[in-house]
Amino acid sequence: MNKKPVVLVVMDGIGCTEKDNGNAVMHAYKPQLDTLIKTCPNIQIKAHGLAVGLPSDDDMGNSEVGHNALGCGQVYSQGAKLVNESIETGAIFKSETWKEALDSCKSGTLHFLGLLSDGNVHSNIAHLEAMLKQAKADGVKKVRIHALLDGRDVPETSALQYVDQIENLIHELNDENFDIKVASGGGRMKITMDRYEANWKMVEEGWHIHVLGEGRKFASMKEAIETYRKELGVSDQDLPGFVIEENGKPVGTIEDGDSVILYNFRGDRAIEISKAFGNENFTEFDRVRFPKVFYAGMLQYDGDLKIPNKFLVAPPHITNTMSEFLVKQGVKSYAISETQKFGHVTYFWNGNRSEKFDDKLETWVEVPSDVIPFEQRPWMKAAEITDLLVDAITSKEYDFLRVNYPNGDMVGHTGNYEATLIGVESVDLMLKRIMNACDKAGYTLLVTADHGNADEMYEKRKNPEDAPKPKTAHTLNPVPFIVYNSDVQLKEGHFGLSNVAATVVELLGFKAPEGWDESLIK
Ligand code: 3PG
Ligand code: CO
C-alpha cells in the first residue's frame, strides 16, 4: 500500500438506500459520486443505532454520535443511552446535582427547559416525564416547563402529539400540593437552540420568552401552535416563541431562588443558553434581568470549558481520539466547515472538547454560514469551503485534512426535496475539485458521511394514493465509504463509522492504537 497524506470528506446527511421514493441522493445529478462508486474501492458502513452508541437500532444516526465515532475510532455509550441507564438505576435522582436543584428552589420554582419530543437526538420526552414524577415524589411544590418544539428529529408537524402526552401527565400529577404547568415555548429553530454561535438572536429571543415572560401570550401550548400554524403555515421547528398566561400574567417567569434544568443531553445546541444562565459576565446580548438560579444540564456539554458546571449525568468520557494520536506522532492536521457544522469537525470530532490538543499542529477553519433558511441557498458555502480546502491540499502542509459539507443534512432538514437535490449536487461538484487537488498533490481521498437524511425526503405513506409528506429527520440508512487515489482493497463485512479512524491512520502509515475498532483495509 502506498502511504500518502489523507483528505477525508464528510458529506453530512448523505446516506444510501435503494428505495427511490423521495431519495434526493439517488435522484441528484452527481457524476463524481457515481464514478467514484463505480470505479473505486467502496463499501457501505453503519451510521445509526448500536454502531454509534445509541440505545437501539431503531435510533437514527446524528452528527454528534457520528463525528464522535469518526474522530475517536471507538463506540461509546452516548447521552441518550447514558440518561436512560441513569434513570433505570435511579442514579440520576441520587445525584448531588438533583438534590441541589431541589434544595435550591424550596421556596421557588423548579423549571425544566428542553426539546419536547422523542427524537433521541437532543432529548427524550421520557426523560422529562421521569423527572416530573420524581420531582413530585421528592416533595417539590411548583414546576414549570419551557418546551421547545421539534419537527426536525421527528415528523415535521408532530408537536401536538408530544403536547398531549405531556399535558396528560401534567393533569395526572397536578394536585393541591403539586402545581405544574407549561410556561413557555417555541420552535427549536426560532428560539434558544442556536449552535456554534451562528445566530445569538435566537438565544436572546428564547431568554425573553422563558426567563422574562416577554412574547406573544396564549392560554395554552395547543392554542399557540394552532394559531401560529394557521397564521404562518410553518412547520414545528419554525414556530415562533410563545408565553403561557393566566389572568393576564405569564405563569412561569424564571426568578431569583428558582432552579433550572436543561434536559437536553446533546451539547451543540445547549451551550449558548447554558452560557446565558451560567456566566456572570455575559456580553452576547442584554439579558435585562439575570436571575440568581441553580442551573444544571442533563449532561456536561463542554468538558474543556466545563459548561455547565452542574450536570445530572456524566457525559461519555471520550479518550484516545484520532487528534490526540496524530498530535503525538507530530502529524499536522486541518479541519474545515462552515459555521453550522464547524463544531462537528472540531468539537464533536475531538470527543466534545472545544479546545485543540496542540495549537501548532492543528488548524481549524470556519467559513461563516448564512443566516437564512437553507432551502433558499442549498449550495450553502460549499464553494468557499472548497476554495480553502484546495489551497490547504495544494500547500502540502498537512498530512490529514477533514471537511464537512452540511448541504445534504441542513437542506434535508427543511423537508424541501427540490432544494435538497441541489444541495447534494453542490457537494458532488466540490468532489471533482478535491479529486483534482488530491491527484496533483498525491493525497488519498476518503469520502463518507455521518448519517443519512437527504436519502429519504418523504415520510413513509400509509396508503399509496396519499400525497407525499416532507420528511425532515435523519434516516436509519448506512453511508458510503469510498477510497480514491489509493491502491488498497477494502474488507467485506459489517462495519461502522468507528472503523474509519483506524483506516485513516493506516493510510498515513501508522499502526492504529490499541482499543480502536479495526481498519477497513484488507
Ligand atoms: C440538528 O440539531 O440540526 C438536528 O437535530 C440534528 O442534526 P445533526 O445531527 O445533523 O446536526
Ligand atoms: Co442533521
Same domain as 329, residue 226: no
Run of H or E including 362: strand 362-367
Distance 447 CA to ligand 2 centre (A): 18
Same domain as 353, residue 422: yes
CB atoms within 10 A of CB 368: 13
pLDDT value at position 213? Answer: 98
Q: What are the residue ranges of helices labelled H in 399-452?
A: 407-410, 417-441
Per-residue confidence at 331, pLDDT binned at 50, 70, 90? very high
pLDDT, tens only, 404-457: 999 999 999 999 999 999 999 999 999 999 999 999 999 999 999 999 999 999
pLDDT, tens only, 28-65: 999 999 999 999 999 999 999 999 999 999 999 999 99
CB-side exposure of 102: number of CA atoms within 13 Å? 18
Same domain as 331, residue 344: yes
CB-side exposure of 369: number of CA atoms within 13 Å? 29
pLDDT, tens only, 505-516: 999 999 999 999
Query: Residue 111 and residue 435: Cα distance in Å, rounded?
Result: 52
Same domain as 147, residue 66: no
Question: For residue 159, what are the contacts with CB-CB under 8 A and spacing of at least 6?
Answer: 116, 117, 149, 150, 151, 225, 236, 239
Run of H or E including 260: strand 259-262
Structural domain for 465, as ranges? 6-76+317-507
In a domain, 522, yes or no: no
Pick the closest to residue 7 from 510, 484, 511 (CA basis): 484
| CATH number, domain containing residue 201 | 3.40.1450.10
Q: Find the ligand nearest to 122 CA.
A: 1
Average pLDDT value for the chain: 98
Run of H or E including 128: helix 125-137
The verdict on whether residue 469 carries a ligand-binding annotation is: no
Query: Residue 346 and residue 12: Cα distance in Å, rounded?
Result: 14
Kindly list the catalytic residues: 63
Pick the closest to residue 262 from 236, 298, 300, 224 (CA basis): 298
Distance 474 CA to ligand 2 centre (A): 6
pLDDT at 501 over 90: yes
Ligand 1: atom nearest CA of 450 is 10
pLDDT at 3 over 90: no
59-69 core/surface letters (b: 16 or more CB in 10 A; e: else): bbbbbbbbbbb
Amino acid 439 reads D
Q: Average pLDDT, stretch 487-505?
A: 97
Query: Residue 321 and residue 70: Cα distance in Å, rounded?
Result: 9
Question: Among 11, 48, 62, 117, which residue has the most ligand 1 atoms within 8 Å of its CB, making it the best to mutate?
Answer: 62
In a domain, 312, yes or no: no
- How large a percentage of the chain has pLDDT more than 90? 98
pLDDT, tens only, 219-242: 999 999 999 999 999 999 999 999
pLDDT value at position 461? Answer: 87
Q: Average pLDDT, stretch 346-372?
A: 98
Same domain as 386, residue 240: no
pLDDT value at position 232? Answer: 98
Same domain as 460, residue 420: yes
Distance 63 CA to ligand 2 centre (A): 6
Same domain as 337, residue 271: no
Query: How many residues are there in the chain?
Result: 522
Q: Average pLDDT, stretch 365-388?
A: 98
How many angstroms separate the Cα of 245 from the Cα of each of 163, 252, 435? 17, 8, 58
Ligand 1: atom nearest CA of 12 is 10
Q: Find the ligand nearest to 450 CA.
A: 1
DSSP for 71-132? HHSS----HHHHHHHHHHHTHHHHSHHHHHHHHHTTTS-EEEEEE-SS-SSS--HHHHHHHH
In a domain, 399, yes or no: yes
pLDDT at 464 over 90: no
The verdict on whether residue 402 carries a ligand-binding annotation is: no
Q: Average pLDDT, stretch 206-231?
A: 98
Same domain as 456, residue 393: yes
Lowest model confidence (mean pLDDT) among 44-53, 109-118, 461-470, 474-483: 461-470
Pocket of ligand 1 (CB under 6 A): 12, 62-64, 121-122, 152-153, 269, 409, 413
Query: Residue 356 and residue 370: Cα distance in Å, rounded?
Result: 26
In a domain, 386, yes or no: yes
Look up residue 177 and give its DSSP letter: T
Q: Average pLDDT, stretch 148-153?
A: 98
Query: Residue 52 and residue 50: Cα distance in Å, rounded?
Result: 5
pLDDT at 1 over 80: no
Question: Among 14, 150, 152, which residue has the most ligand 1 atoms within 8 Å of its CB, making it the best to mutate?
Answer: 152
The verdict on whether residue 208 carries a ligand-binding annotation is: no
Q: Please, are residues 24 and 461 in contact by the beta-carbon 8 Å criterion?
A: no
In a domain, 286, yes or no: yes
Alpha-carbon Rg for the chain in angstroms: 23
Same domain as 265, residue 184: yes
Query: CA 86, 87, 93, 97 torsion: positive or negative?
Result: positive
Q: Average pLDDT, stretch 273-291?
A: 98
Q: How many domains does the chain have?
A: 2
DSSP-assigned beta bridge partners for residue 146? 113, 184
Ligand 1: atom nearest CA of 66 is 9
Q: Average pLDDT, stretch 104-112?
A: 98
pLDDT at 336 over 90: yes
Ligand 1: atom nearest CA of 13 is 10
Pick the closest to residue 293 from 376, 365, 207 (CA basis): 207
Distance 150 CA to ligand 1 centre (A): 11
pLDDT value at position 43? Answer: 98
Same domain as 148, residue 39: no
Expressed in angstroms, the distance from the first to the final Cα of the chain is 10
pTM of the full structure: 0.97
Same domain as 61, residue 90: no
In a domain, 268, yes or no: yes
C-alpha cell at 516: 480502536
pLDDT value at position 143? Answer: 98
In a domain, 302, yes or no: no
| CATH number, domain containing residue 393 | 3.40.720.10
Q: Which of 297, 331, 359 is the last residue of a domain?
A: 297
Same domain as 104, residue 41: no
In a domain, 503, yes or no: yes
Query: Residue 69 and residue 74: Cα distance in Å, rounded?
Result: 6
How many angstroms separate the Cα of 255 from the Cα of each of 144, 218, 292, 295? 12, 21, 7, 12
pLDDT value at position 462? Answer: 86
Q: Average pLDDT, stretch 171-183?
A: 98
The verdict on whether residue 268 carries a ligand-binding annotation is: yes
Distance 509 CA to ligand 2 centre (A): 33
